[in-house]
Amino acid sequence: MRAGVKIALALAVLLGSLSVAPQLGPSESVSAAVNTTSIDHLRKEIVRAISQRLGTLEVTYTGKEASLKKDIRDTLDAAVYSDDYLHYIVKTYGYRSTMSGNKAKIDFSFTYWETLPQTNEVKKRVAQVLGKILTKGMNDHQKVKAIHDWIVTNIAYDTRLISHSAYDGISKGKTVCQGYALLTYEMMKQAGIPVKIMEGTSRGISHTWNLVQIGGKWYHLDTTWDDPVPDVAGRTVYNYYNLTDAQIRPDHKWTPSTHIPRAVTPYDQSLASLSVSDSSKSSFYDKLYEQLGYLYLADAYTATSLQDLTSNIQDAVANRKKELVIRYTRGTTIKSDMKKAFAAQKGLSGFSYSYEDYSRTTINDKLLRIVFKYS
């Protein structure tokens, strides 16, 4: 769940604007006054203030009278959005100003999810973790998997919705999606993996996740939704691992932007190609291909009709299999179809089944798992 809305309040006052300044936290401080006539300098000063976790920044800015208010607002937004990590540890931001002609006296104010010492602690602990889970000779595919698996197995989703930062995650072991995305970002960045934080909605609520670049191609990576709730120790799932825009869009929404790279290459194609071209790591690619469920794209592991489903179940029972896992493309009718498929089955004392969304395709496919009990 995306925590906290960044606030830039603007109330017209004479020739200027006014925002409600938040109270300073115990670790925040006030900067000295800055005088500038440069938009670029103004932006850099705001970035510096956020980087140092300053609570306020006083600036006297001289610019173009006709666009003075717009320039201040746009520059503030540009500064906050200039770095993904800084952007998402800013809790609120705003400003108040008094203007006369082409000159503005501005008081910027900020609050944060993470103090500077806490951010530094995150960097330190991330470096320590990477030193343990990354080994010499790993390529980017292996690094991304190692980082994803560490986060999913060591962090739990904070169902109280209290913890929001990477520091909360790495120090307390719990955080919400914002903390997952921030921690993923920092770990990928330190590992040399190009990474971004995405913001939008998922399952009807505000949400953040990541984009990672591997082999020149971008993929969506959502470590939050790959972590079971309630937390299951040692369990790792890959439903939201390296997806394309089309694959993740059914339950992840975001506003398209020229700043957001497109993710268009299915990851199974990359793995299949690498298994041949990079034979020294073919066992890793083949195992990951299986872990990500790409086997269920093949006809042998897919049922596209009630008749197909019934036939697969009959074959499994005839061979007294204990379990059948199959992709079923009629997800909207899976319950009624299961009832029909088992109506004429013989030799069973019982069965149970579960299913989940199959995220590797863009239609309503389900990954169906059936457990058989024999008399």
pLDDT, tens digit, for every residue of 196-220?
A: 999 999 988 999 999 999 999 999 9
Percent of the chain with pLDDT over 70: 91
Structure tokens at 319: 């061979």
What string of DSSP letters covers 309-332?
HHHHHHHHHHTT-SEEEEEES-GG
3-state per-residue secondary structure call for 77-136: HHHHCCCHHHHHHEEEEEEEEEEECCEEEEEEEEEECCCHHHHHHHHHHHHHHHHHHCCC
pLDDT, tens digit, for every residue of 31-44?
A: 568 899 999 999 99
Domain spans, the chain: 11-112, 116-269, 296-374
* CB-based contact 141:89 (threshold 8 Å): no
pLDDT score of 364: 86
Range with the poorest average pLDDT among 4-8, 14-18, 127-131, 323-327: 14-18
pLDDT, tens digit, for every residue of 58-80?
A: 999 999 999 999 999 999 999 99
List phi, psi (to 5°) of 235: -85, 130
Asked whether residue 14 carries a pLDDT value surpassing 80, the answer given is: no
Instruction: Tell me the fold of 296-374.
Output: Translation Initiation Factor IF3 (3.30.110)
Average pLDDT across the chain, whole number? 90
Confidence of residue 24 (pLDDT cuts 50, 70, 90): very low
Mean pLDDT across 261-270: 96
Confidence of residue 28 (pLDDT cuts 50, 70, 90): low
Instruction: Tell me the fold of 116-269.
Output: C8orf32 fold (3.10.620)
Mean pLDDT across 269-295: 95
Mean pLDDT across 94-103: 94
pLDDT, tens digit, for every residue of 102-150?
A: 999 999 999 999 999 999 999 999 999 999 999 999 999 999 999 999 9
pLDDT score of 32: 60
* CB-based contact 181:85 (threshold 8 Å): no
Q: Side chain identity at 103, as an amino acid letter?
A: K
* Residue scoring higher pLDDT (237 or 268): 268
Instruction: Tell me the fold of 11-112.
Output: Translation Initiation Factor IF3 (3.30.110)
Asked whether residue 237 carries a pLDDT value surpassing 90, the answer given is: no
pLDDT score of 20: 34
pLDDT, tens digit, for every residue of 298-354?
A: 999 999 999 999 999 999 999 999 999 999 999 999 999 999 999 978 889 999 999
* CB-based contact 220:205 (threshold 8 Å): no
Are 11-112 and 296-374 equal in CATH topology? yes
What string of DSSP letters covers 273-314?
HHHHH-GGGHHHHHHHHHHTTGGGGSGGGEE-SHHHHHHHHH
